[in-house]
Amino acid sequence: MISFGMMSLSLKSELTYFTEMARRANADRFTCFRFSPASIHPITEMVTGERFDQKKDCWVKAEFQLPNIIYDRCFYTNDLASKQAMAIVKWLKKKTDITFLGYGLPNKWEIYQVLSQSPLSPYIPKTILAGSGKAVIAQLDVMDTAILKPVFGSGGAGIYKIEKTGREFEISADIGDGLITKTFHSTSETEDWLDNLFRKKEYMMQPYLSLSDPQNYPFDIRVLLQKDHEGKWIARGKGIRRGIKDGILSNLRVGGEILPFEEYVNSLDIRTRKFISLELEEILTQLPGILEASFPRLFELGVDIGVSKDHALWVLDTNSKPGRKVITSTNPDLKEVLYKAPIEYASVLSKILPEREEQHL
């Protein structure tokens, strides 16, 4: 029997996803649990959470041993509870009697260092650490316009565009349904604002790439990659995220919308369509292997790919805990596949568990 745990910071998180997954698990092979890291007793290592009752078709309160295989869907913030949970999960990942579907990726800077030295380097925007306001201003003499991104961040939060025009500096951000811009009239004023920003978070700096459609809506291609029932990487689906007109980001949290990938590619001429399809295939075929060669095993990846006005492709972000909204909203039939995928990959991993456990006896 495979003990399969679905882990999130709160039992309110991803309830529908976890329930549909548990419904599709073979009751003769799987017992499904859900829990939060905070519910693990530090001495007994027993867990207080919920077990899925196949006959009643619902979750029931239960106390259980740590599952053999864990699907980690914890999303952290800067609060104390998140920091405590991160420490517990770090401890769990070191335990030799537990296997995670995927062990996650490090911060964006570490990912950049690997990808920029890989065969995919032509698709990776040049990136530097933004150590100080003075350093950023110096770089603007080279870049003119740049993007500032948090090293630890997700969902497009905390991203700024900075532009130098004569002696003035403009810093913009997509907030809500509009673009907010602040103008600074001196170098010292700009440096002070940036230094204050960098005291709160570590930032990276990239040249600003014009990744907008002909109507000036920023957009990117979101691809969901997962391992299948044989442990092979497969592209489950693609979708287009389109941001607000004249905005910086295509992120959905700041007023963006989802469009079918087919609608985008079919709007291109045949030559461009073929070129982009081949470039996408090149990126998606190589990316998972490059990451797994440098970091622990992964199960799924959300990959965001920007397309510039000259149709050059850029890998903007890789996320080891991707959402499914972009893919399922344009292709609802994929929901069934995505509900089954974690269970199917857990079956693949379960075949190596006895061998691994024997080694640690």
Query: CA of 303: how far to CAs of 14, 19, 300, in Å?
Result: 21, 26, 10
Strands 58-65 and 46-53: antiparallel
Percent composition of the chain: helix, strand, coil (DSSP 3-state, to 5): 35, 30, 35
Highest mean pLDDT among 98-102, 170-174, 246-250: 98-102
Contact 51, 59 (CB under 8 A): yes
Q: Provide the pLDDT for residue 359.
A: 35
Position 316, amino acid:
L
Q: Provide the pLDDT for residue 229.
A: 93
Give per-residue pLDDT as tens, 53-62.
Answer: 999 999 999 9
d(CA 233, CA 215): 35
Q: Which residues pair with 31 in a beta bridge?
A: 3
Q: Cβ neighbours of residue 274 under 8 Å, at least 6 residues apart? A: none
d(CA 151, CA 110): 9
Q: Provide the pLDDT for residue 252.
A: 63
Evaluate if residue 89 carries a pLDDT over 90: yes
Evaluate if residue 29 carries a pLDDT over 90: yes
Query: CA of 181: how far to CAs of 163, 171, 337, in Å?
Result: 11, 6, 43
Q: Cβ neighbours of residue 335 under 8 Å, at least 6 residues apart? A: 20, 324, 328
Evaluate if residue 154 carries a pLDDT over 80: no
Give the pTM: 0.91
The total of other beta-carbon atoms located within 10 Å of residue 213's CB is 16
**3-class SS string, 279-323:** HHHHHHHHHHHHHHHHCCCCCEEEEEEEECCCCCEEEEEEECCCC
Query: CA of 107: how far to CAs of 126, 152, 246, in Å?
Result: 16, 6, 29
Kindly indicate the confidence band of residue 15, based on its pLDDT and cuts at 50, 70 and 90. Answer: very high
How far out from the chain centre does Cα 108 lie?
A: 10
Give per-residue pLDDT as tens, 325-355.
Answer: 999 999 999 999 999 999 999 999 998 765 4
Q: What does the CA dihedral 251, 286, 288, 226 come to, rounded to 10 degrees? A: 80
Contact 11, 359 (CB under 8 A): no
Give per-residue pLDDT as tens, 276-332.
Answer: 999 999 999 999 999 999 999 999 999 999 999 889 999 999 999 999 999 999 999
Query: Which range (74-88, 117-131, 344-358) has the least confidence?
Result: 344-358
CA atoms lying within 13 Å on the CB side of residue 136: 34
Q: Provide the pLDDT for residue 254.
A: 64
Give per-residue pLDDT as tens, 185-194.
Answer: 999 999 999 9
